[in-house]
Chain A
Amino acid sequence: MEETDVILLWGSNAREAHPIYFHHVLKAVHRGAKLYVIDPRRTPTAEWADGWLSLEVGHDVALANGVANVILEEGLQNDAFVRNATLGFESWRAHIKQYDLARVCALTGVDPELIRRMARDFAKAERAMICWTLGITEHHNAVDNVFSLINLALLTGHVGKWGSGLNPLRGQNNVQGGGDMGALPHKLPGFQDVEDASVRARFEQAWGRSVPPMKGWHLTQMFEAMGRGELTAVYVIGENPAQSEADSAHAIERLKGLECLVVQDIFLTKTAQLADVVFPATASFCEAEGTVTNSERRVQRVRRALTPPGEARDDIEIIAELSRRLGFDFGTPTAQQLWDECRTLSPMHAGMSYAHLEERGGIQWPCPDEAHPGTSFLHGRLWDADATKRGPLAPFQVTEDEPPVEALDAEFPLRLTTGRRLESYNTGVQSQGYASPVFRRETIDLSGADVARLGLRDGEAVRVVSRRGAVVAPVRVDPGLKAGLAFMTFHFADEVDTNLLTIDATDPKAGTAEYKAAAVRVEKLG
């Protein structure tokens, strides 16, 4: 990160949401790297940018395709890389021609000169990086958004090299590790396909039990299956969907309709309050042993520093005990024993013994053996001079601009987008436990122009209404917002349940809800 020359931070307010990652960005900026921030809001992140591209919410595909169009028009693409390492370039190129700057500016509202400048800087850089967060993925067309960014990296060859590449900044401390360990509907640990019989056979041999051969549901599909009555029992570990799901009134209704809801958590969350059974667990980062994986694929050790309170038990112990009572006794293995078993089944983790992790202070996967130092960047194979060693080539993906599902109209004229603030986190169950002097409580942030137009005062409580629900929150004037744009978080869900407003329109491939784009109106109280 620190040695790159151009950084595109797309849909990310890293200064507040990933503060220590942003330290590395700032090291690069002080070294002379150019930073472009693509975000509808002028966030504290955007304030550091050489160029801030304030696009209309949800038109990321149009902007990315417009950048690609400039690069192609000016002949700045990396022809050798495109020829050697990619597929589908010519048909994609024909498609991109539709995204001329006049059209892109009409869709995104971004100054064409700024788009041109970013495209040139990105394409001409020796090293360049695209990093993104939920501003890209919390849309009904999340996967197309990501594909559009990948296209830019393929077009310029900014991938598979030191100081270059594509980096999604993960929002939770082990969301990467959850995926690594197979907490995905179609994968076993190490991203191995559950529908592959030879993969299943290895796991079945190790576990002495058969592995269901079919992929499961992702979270959104699970909620839909609850709605259809096909999913009747749910076991929730360390998640608070009653407050984190979009359109939360709808989500709660579905959780209430279950025959059996089990929650394993360190808090009696709103979800736990709906449960038939609650297992009090330990805080994994300081009351338990194990590993987590961070955003840079680095597997890191967590260690027990405190004795857990009361009846709280380690997650492993709870699951082992539950399994025993259900008729399969696998004893009570330690975290290290489970990890060592995982290393025998997941080749990318094979070299990561606790001793090796300790010695190197964490290791980035893949790490196939204990002599291996880990892998600081992926996809280097695409650059191999020997075509037979390049592996599967990377395809360009044709993507089309699609506006947010919920269009603005006279009844709901404001675009509500959601995100995080520095001192808080998600539904607030963790972050409300300390006395931060920067806590602001929840507000609806609006532009000065809208506050004046609606005849409101800064701090005045208002009702925010969407097609799904309404909440009451005080107004805060945010000079970083343009007219027509509103911002809220869901950090204080017990007081202001923002997800009553958000829309559960989801991406068909990823299942992510469109938290970033709801239509609302603001009403004066009384």
Chain B
Amino acid sequence: MTRRTVQLTIDGKQASVPEDATLLDACTSLGIETPTLCWAENLTPVNVCRICVVEVEGARVLVPSCSRKVEAGMVVHTDSPRVRTSRKLVLELLGSSVDMSLSPIFLEYSKRYGADPARFGPKAPKAKAGERDAAVPGHHHAPDGTHAATVAQPVKRDNDLFLRDYEKCMLCMKCVQACGTDAQNTFAIAVSGRGFEARISTEHDTALPDSACVFCGNCIGVCPTGALMFNVEHDLRAAKKWDESKQTVTDTVCSYCGVGCTLSLRVQDNQIVRVTSPSDNSVTAGNLCVKGRFGWGFVKGDE
């Protein structure tokens, strides 16, 4: 089927893109860099973070460019005062409630849009273990007006492979998508709760080894904030030994079955510290199974 082309105007320039393109695709085709947090090339857009919003003339509200399809004759503004204000507010709300310190792109966007998360006041105290998981709709009380509400809580570490540090979770949904129909189709996690109490959870908040999880780690592969992390990386960071200047990343092929998944091995001090796969790889689309992601313990390296 031949795809037709659609013409539209973005920031005064003419764009000509396939009819099924998104506004984000159209912006990219003109070299207009659009901030995204919840979007990824190997996942279906869920348009939850709202950082990619743009202004379409004639539309009542700003539209998420990652999922809005182009239409002939659209007139779009990507850097109008409305767009900048909206992006800035999104960054401030996220920055005040979520630990975004391991997301370099977030820090860059914050600078670009002059976001000041501290203006909501000092962060409210960390929740106790399990406290947020026990919340039911209606439990949330308005903050006291002097402190910024946060999702801070203790790290969940219930297995030897990876952990969940939900203080860093911005609810971008990428892990849920990767665990669901976009890749793994295991459906071990979903969003639980509503409003500010919304969080990513296994069924009945069981520990991962008791859940449907098969430990493929495809959720870690897409997590943009470091909320999902190999234990080995977390421990190196906690010991202040994580040192990216001493790390190399080498692409090779998994040693298990015959599918031929590309592994990107991140190595520090001759030890593997993280395994990913390129999201544009024709075999993996960025995904691996438990053996490819974690099954390299037999390689000891020269210590």
Residues of A283-314 at the interface with B, using a CB-CB cut-off of 8 Å, are 283-287, 292-296, 298, 300-310
Interface flags for A156-193 (1: CB within 8 Å of B; 0: not) read 00000000000001111111100000000000000000
Residue in A closest to B261 when the chains form the complex, CB atoms: A20
Residues of A close to B208: CB separation below 8 A? 437
Give the distance in Å from the alpha carbon of A135 to the alpha carbon of B190 in the complex. 35
**Cβ–Cβ contact A362 & B185, under 8 A:** no
Across the interface, B257 reaches (CB within 8 A) one of A173, A284, A302, namely: A173
B203 CB to nearest A CB, Å: 16
Give the distance in Å from the alpha carbon of A69 to the alpha carbon of B292 in the complex. 42
Across the interface, A437 reaches (CB within 8 A) one of B181, B209, B250, B298, namely: B209
Across the interface, A20 reaches (CB within 8 A) one of B214, B271, B287, namely: B287
- The interface on chain B, measured as residues whose beta carbon lies within 8 A of the other chain's beta carbons, has a size of 54
Beyond A171-B258, A305-B250, whether A294 also contacts B283 by CB under 8 A is: yes
Across the interface, A300 reaches (CB within 8 A) one of B213, B253, B256, B297, namely: B253
**Cβ–Cβ contact B283 & A308, under 8 A:** no
Q: Inter-chain contact count A-B, CB under 8 Å?
A: 175
Residue in A closest to B295 when the chains form the complex, CB atoms: A434
**Cβ–Cβ contact B267 & A305, under 8 A:** yes
Give the distance in Å from the alpha carbon of A300 to the alpha carbon of B257 in the complex. 14
**Cβ–Cβ contact A306 & B301, under 8 A:** yes
Residues of B close to A292: CB separation below 8 A? 253, 260
Give the distance in Å from the alpha carbon of A60 to the alpha carbon of B291 in the complex. 30
**Cβ–Cβ contact A286 & B258, under 8 A:** no
**Cβ–Cβ contact B255 & A17, under 8 A:** no
**Cβ–Cβ contact A284 & B267, under 8 A:** no
Across the interface, A309 reaches (CB within 8 A) one of B185, B214, B258, B300, namely: B300
Interface flags for B121-157 (1: CB within 8 Å of A; 0: not) read 0000000000000000000000000000000000000
**Cβ–Cβ contact B257 & A433, under 8 A:** no
Residue in B closest to A176 when the chains form the complex, CB atoms: B258
Residue in B closest to A25 when the chains form the complex, CB atoms: B185
**Cβ–Cβ contact B252 & A305, under 8 A:** yes
Residues of A close to B245: CB separation below 8 A? none
Interface flags for B264-303 (1: CB within 8 Å of A; 0: not) read 0101001110000000011111011111101111111111
Give the distance in Å from the alpha carbon of A429 to the alpha carbon of B299 in the complex. 11
Give the distance in Å from the alpha carbon of A293 to the alpha carbon of B253 in the complex. 10
**Cβ–Cβ contact A309 & B290, under 8 A:** no
Give the distance in Å from the alpha carbon of A19 to the alpha carbon of B209 in the complex. 19
Give the distance in Å from the alpha carbon of A318 to the alpha carbon of B300 in the complex. 20
B268 CB to nearest A CB, Å: 11
Across the interface, B215 reaches (CB within 8 A) one of A296, A423, A431, namely: A423
Does A456 sit within 8 A of B, measured CB to CB? no
Beyond A292-B253, A434-B295, A437-B160, whether A175 also contacts B258 by CB under 8 A is: yes
A2 CB to nearest B CB, Å: 10
Does B184 sit within 8 A of A, measured CB to CB? yes
Across the interface, A18 reaches (CB within 8 A) one of B181, B253, B257, B300, namely: B257
Give the distance in Å from the alpha carbon of A430 to the alpha carbon of B298 in the complex. 6
**Cβ–Cβ contact B289 & A286, under 8 A:** no
Does A438 sit within 8 A of B, measured CB to CB? yes
Does A21 sit within 8 A of B, measured CB to CB? yes
Give the distance in Å from the alpha carbon of A429 to the alpha carbon of B303 in the complex. 21
**Told that A432-B298, A436-B215 touch, could you supply 17 new A-B pairs with CB distance under 8 A?**
A20-B284, A20-B289, A172-B256, A283-B255, A287-B299, A294-B258, A300-B253, A301-B253, A305-B250, A305-B265, A305-B267, A308-B302, A430-B256, A433-B298, A434-B297, A436-B294, A437-B161
Contact surface of B with A, Cβ cutoff 8 Å: 159-161, 181, 183-185, 208-209, 213-216, 248, 250-263, 265, 267, 270-272, 281-285, 287-292, 294-303
Contact surface of A with B, Cβ cutoff 8 Å: 17-21, 23, 26, 30, 48, 169-176, 266-267, 283-287, 292-296, 298, 300-310, 361-362, 422-425, 429-438
Nearest 4 A/B pairs, CB to CB: A294-B260, A170-B258, A433-B298, A434-B297
The 25 sampled A-B contact pairs (Cβ below 8 Å) are A19-B289, A20-B283, A169-B257, A169-B258, A170-B257, A171-B258, A173-B257, A173-B260, A267-B298, A285-B254, A287-B299, A298-B260, A300-B262, A301-B252, A305-B267, A306-B270, A309-B301, A309-B302, A362-B260, A429-B298, A430-B255, A436-B215, A436-B290, A436-B294, A437-B159
